[in-house]
């Protein structure tokens, strides 16, 4: 069925696939963005696959996992989608520079992010959450510098998805060159709300953007927030320089 020499091609399909990565951090709103994207008929994905990519050949594994998990055998999509929220998933970074790979960088401000991480990981403390968050933002900066292409990389924030939705949708369509646009309503998949794949809260099952965030009774200390905000501001500046912004 497949053509081993080219990681983007399979037999009986005239056009090669393109790979789309959401590069982000935990509790960034990446599940919402994933659902918005994979409701487009040209994109197939379901969330975080947890694949480890050693080379471009692993894109075949991504493709087969998506079609097997979603039971969609049309195989007429333009993009295969994965979201990557943790370091050590890319053992080789060079494929991020491939013309067949596009990326969307997604950030969320630190106060809500850290509180949300601690909400789903109550065994951790705020120092653990801070270490993950600042480390991940530094990695995202390194990816943006490596790719170094506003044509291949788009940078958006969770706040923009919620409050500047149409501008985000227009930017997504332009960045991905899809025939169909994007909207606030999305398809709910059988994988929606599954822990380990994405957001397991009730909001994601609504099938549309919910602008009101869940109430969280978790306080983050000023000292931790100050460190996190510095990392966020630095990452925001770097991504704004190397990526296309709305």
What is the per-residue pLDDT across 44-88, written as a single tens digit (0 to 9) for each?
998 899 999 999 999 999 998 888 877 666 678 999 999 999 999
Looking at residue 76, its pLDDT comes to 83
Residue with tokens 């940078």: 155
Residue 231 lies in a domain: no
Q: At residue 4, does pLDDT exceed 60?
A: no
Distance CA 84, CA 30 (A): 9
**Strand ranges across the sheet with 244-245:** 43-44, 79-84, 18-23, 101-107, 153-157, 244-245
Residue with tokens 């295969």: 80
Cβ burial of 237 (10 Å; 0-12, 13-18, 19+) is: exposed
Looking at residue 174, its pLDDT comes to 98
Residue 190 lies in a domain: yes
Residue 161 lies in a domain: yes
Q: At residue 148, does pLDDT exceed 90?
A: yes
Looking at residue 198, its pLDDT comes to 61
Domain span at 34:
18-110+149-212
Q: How far is CA 9 from the centre of its chain?
A: 23
Residue 240 lies in a domain: no
Q: At residue 135, does pLDDT exceed 60?
A: yes
Residue 13 lies in a domain: no
Q: How many domains does the chain have?
A: 1
pLDDT in tens, 218-230: 999 999 999 999 9
Q: What is the dihedral of CA 185, 188, 193, 197, to 10 degrees?
A: -100
Looking at residue 2, its pLDDT comes to 46
Which pTM does this prediction carry?
Answer: 0.92
Q: Across the strands, what pairs with 10?
A: 2
Q: What CATH code is carried by the domain that includes residue 156?
A: 3.40.50.300
Residue with tokens 């370091």: 87
Question: Which SS3 state, helix, strand or coil, does residue 10 take?
Answer: strand
Residue 59 lies in a domain: yes
Residue 228 lies in a domain: no
Q: At residue 23, does pLDDT exceed 60?
A: yes
Give the rounded percent of residues in the chain with a pLDDT score beyond 90. 73
Residue 29 lies in a domain: yes
Question: Which SS3 state, helix, strand or coil, does residue 122 take?
Answer: coil
Q: At residue 150, does pLDDT exceed 60?
A: yes
* pLDDT-derived band at 196, boundaries 50, 70, 90: low
């Amino acid at each position: 069925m497949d053509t081993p020499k080219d990681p983007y091609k399979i037999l009986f399909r005239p056009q090669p696939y393109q790979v789309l990565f959401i590069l982000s951090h935990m509790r960034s709103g990446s599940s919402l963005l994933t659902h918005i994207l994979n409701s487009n008929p040209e994109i197939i994905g379901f969330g975080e696959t947890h694949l480890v990519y050693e080379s471009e050949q692993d894109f075949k594994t991504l493709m087969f996992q998506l079609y097997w998990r979603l039971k969609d055998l049309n195989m007429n999509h333009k993009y295969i989608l994965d979201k990557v929220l943790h370091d050590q998933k890319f053992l080789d970074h060079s494929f991020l520079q491939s013309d067949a790979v596009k990326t969307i960088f997604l950030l969320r401000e630190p106060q809500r992010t850290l509180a949300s991480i601690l909400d789903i990981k109550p065994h951790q403390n705020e120092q653990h959450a801070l270490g993950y968050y600042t480390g991940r933002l530094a990695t995202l900066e390194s990816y943006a510098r490596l790719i170094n292409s506003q044509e291949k990389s788009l940078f958006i924030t969770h706040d923009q998805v919620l409050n500047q939705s149409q501008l985000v949708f227009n930017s997504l369509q332009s960045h991905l060159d899809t025939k169909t646009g994007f909207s606030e309503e999305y398809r709910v998949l059988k994988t929606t709300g599954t822990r380990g794949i994405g957001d397991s809260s009730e909001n994601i099952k609504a099938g549309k953007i919910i602008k009101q965030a869940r109430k969280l009774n978790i306080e983050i200390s000023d000292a931790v927030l100050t460190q996190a905000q510095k990392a966020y501001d630095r990452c925001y500046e770097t991504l704004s320089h190397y990526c296309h912004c709305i």
